[in-house]
Amino acid sequence: MRLGSILTLLAILIALGVYFLFFRPTEPPAPPPEPRPFVWSVDTEELQHMVLSLPQESKTEEFVKHEDRYWYFDNPPGPMVDVERWGGGIPLLLSGPGAERLIAKDATEERLAVFGFSAPRMEIVLTLENGDIIGIEVGDSTPDGSAYYIKLADSKDVYTVDYSWYDVFERLVLEPPYPPPEED
């Protein structure tokens, strides 16, 4: 009797296995995520000069890369930036942010004003080693505060970038990464 019960249970398990293997409904694979659009894209090594402005606070910071490949304050010419606070992240973030999404393509002036571009919160000017200049404007934050509207200065295409991207550059202007005072 015991052997018969075991064989019956084994047959039931095999039948269930075959059923789930061949007859269970399969879900189609999820489509691959859409690649994030880039508002602009440059190699970090090509960056030569950066100007970050907060027009509403009337504050600006300028940085220039010297021959030694380190970044220095540039207005007035000054010390090397504090590498601890600067790291390699600032040029990387400025090489081209991955946008969360495209909000408006070829927006009208009225639509740009809705996004805060009639009085941008931040203006960034990047000069490349070959002399090309990239102008960037950051408008208002999105209604939920999770992102900011951003566009190239000579474009009417509006994207959103994560709020942390803006916060990094705002802090860079409001709390510049001057080197720590030398200890005596």
Instruction: Give the predicted TM-score (pTM) of the model.
Output: 0.79
Query: pLDDT tens track of the chain, all 184 residues?
Result: 687 788 888 888 888 777 777 776 677 778 877 777 888 889 989 999 999 999 999 999 999 999 988 899 987 788 989 878 776 678 888 888 888 889 999 999 999 999 999 999 999 999 999 999 999 999 999 999 999 999 999 999 999 999 999 999 999 999 998 888 774 3
Whether residue 35 is contained in a domain is answered as no
Whether residue 38 is contained in a domain is answered as no
Q: Which of 117, 125, 132 lies closest to 60 in space, CA to CA?
A: 125
In this structure, the strands spanning 101-104 and 77-80 are unpaired
CATH number where 142 lies: 2.60.40
Q: In the chain, how many domains are there?
A: 1
Q: Are 85 and 184 in contact (CB under 8 A)?
A: no
Whether residue 163 is contained in a domain is answered as yes
Q: Could you tell me how many residues make up the chain?
A: 184
Whether residue 107 is contained in a domain is answered as yes
**Cis peptide bond N-terminal to 120, omega within 30:** no
Residue at token pair 């991955």 = 98
List the domain range (segments joined by +) for residue 55. 44-174
Whether residue 3 is contained in a domain is answered as no
